[in-house]
Structure 1
Amino acid sequence: MATLGSALLLVVPVWAAALVTPGPDTLAVAHSALRGGRRAGIACMAGVSTGAAVWALGALAGLALLFERAAWAYRAVVLFGAAYLVVTGLRMLWSAWRWPAAATAGAAPVRGRASPGARAAFRRGLVTHLANPKAAVFFGSLFAVALPPGAAGWAGPALAGVVVAMTAAWYGAIALAVTRRPVAAAYARAERGLTGATGALLAGLGARLAWQEAR
């Protein structure tokens, strides 16, 4: 128990700092909640949390070591993730560009595209998080430092569970916060611009990820 407690003292602050730093996951959850409502936001949060569980448990199973020894596998995942972010961003930019004239003229609310359902929101959250294989390396390094060789076999999965719970709590809070009535009303008035801005950020993040890997 002392070993797990010591590991938590190291992992919890580091992962908390990573969570509060805005990134693709934050954009995905906030946008899903604003477009599809609280249910879509929670579904996207569940997707992100599932992705975190995959990378955390994968790191415990030696995935970080695999990426280190098989550089081609790591690069393939990076490029797939970068492509997903770029395509998602470009689709959002295209949606903002083709926004119905009635919506921009201040008429009754009209969406550029149908609001995402829970399944689509979950998939977006999952793929967005899995699009960054650096998370596997991050968890691998963090867990290697936090868990000494003599740690109990259940300590690793328990630590991964804490990481996933923190992820769910943080992004769940974001989904709930952005769907409060004042925020939702403000978003409805600026939806086209915010959709375009979010698309540009996602496409830019994907392009940057691909550029860094290609150098």
Structure 2
Amino acid sequence: MLALLPLLGVWVLAIISPGPDFVVTVQYASARSRRHGVAVGLGVSCAILVWAVGSLLGLAVLFARVSWLYDVVRLAGAAYLLYLGVRTLWSTRGAAPAADPGPARAGGRPGGLVRAWRVGFLTNIGNPKAAVFFGSLFSALLPVDAGVGLRAAAVALMVAVAVVWFTVVATVFGLDPVARAYARTRRWIDRVMGAVLVALAGRLAFER
């Protein structure tokens, strides 16, 4: 397991770097509830599992050889981020919401939690750069003679780190004081988050 420490160190720095996954987790935890934020984080983590396993199976090589497939996933991911950003911006039109978060934050209906999970999963799975990132990470930091067991342990630990990180983020931004502060300035925060998501969509669409 000591052989995995360099890989985990790089992964921790990568996972805590703000990006679309962080933005949607914060948004759902602040606007809805901690449980919704955790559900988003679990969706992101499941997508990370898909990308990590796919990279070990040669997905990055497939994307390199079939460039149109990479572009399809990239543009679909950009379109989804654009949709989230525009929807968030659209929600800020009209009268400002009341400052009290109210019963909308009192727990989470199963359907709402499933939708939150789906948002997290689609946000991450729509970025094919993840396959390239994981492929580079594994080739550079996994021992050359790493067996199936060590590779599986690496993936499991990386997913566990992602789950812990996004649970912490959702817990912090789902706290009542944070939620009340969000409610008081919701329109402006949502405008900033929406603009960030639109900008991230543009970057994903135009950067290869």
CA separation in 2, counterparts of 1:44 and 1:102?
Answer: 26
What is the aligned partner in structure 2 of residue 211 from structure 1? 206
| Alpha-carbon spacing, 1:82–1:102, altered in 2? closer, same or farther (3 Å) | closer
2:136 to 121, 141, 149: 141
The root-mean-square deviation of aligned C-alpha atoms, in Å, is: 2.0
| 1:28-177 correspondence runs (5 A) | 28-98=24-94, 101=95, 103=97, 117-177=112-172
| Alpha-carbon spacing, 1:102–1:53, altered in 2? closer, same or farther (3 Å) | closer
| Alpha-carbon spacing, 1:182–1:72, altered in 2? closer, same or farther (3 Å) | same
Q: Conserved in 2, the CA contact under 8 Å of 1:85 and 1:206?
A: yes
Q: TM-score, normalised by structure 2?
A: 0.91
CA separation in 1, counterparts of 2:158 and 2:20?
Answer: 18
- Match status 1:182 vs 2:172: no
CA separation in 1, counterparts of 2:131 and 2:75?
Answer: 15
What is the aligned partner in structure 2 of residue 24 from structure 1? 20
Aligned residues: 203
CA separation in 1, counterparts of 2:157 and 2:140?
Answer: 16
CA separation in 1, counterparts of 2:142 and 2:21?
Answer: 27
| Alpha-carbon spacing, 1:102–1:58, altered in 2? closer, same or farther (3 Å) | closer
| Alpha-carbon spacing, 1:148–1:109, altered in 2? closer, same or farther (3 Å) | closer
Q: Conserved in 1, the CA contact under 8 Å of 2:100 and 2:180?
A: no
CA separation in 2, counterparts of 1:153 and 1:110?
Answer: 48
1:110 CA drift (Å): 10
1:147 CA drift (Å): 2.6
In structure 2, what residue type is equivalent to 1:168? V
SS in 2 for 1:96: coil
| Alpha-carbon spacing, 1:102–1:187, altered in 2? closer, same or farther (3 Å) | closer
1:177 CA drift (Å): 0.5
Q: In percent, how many aligned pairs have the same letter?
A: 41
- Match status 1:198 vs 2:193: yes
Q: Conserved in 2, the CA contact under 8 Å of 1:39 and 1:118?
A: yes
Q: TM-score, normalised by structure 1?
A: 0.88
What is the aligned partner in structure 2 of residue 5 from structure 1? 2
Q: Which runs of 4+ in 1 moved over 3 A?
A: 106-111
Q: Conserved in 2, the CA contact under 8 Å of 1:44 and 1:126?
A: yes
| Alpha-carbon spacing, 1:108–1:127, altered in 2? closer, same or farther (3 Å) | closer
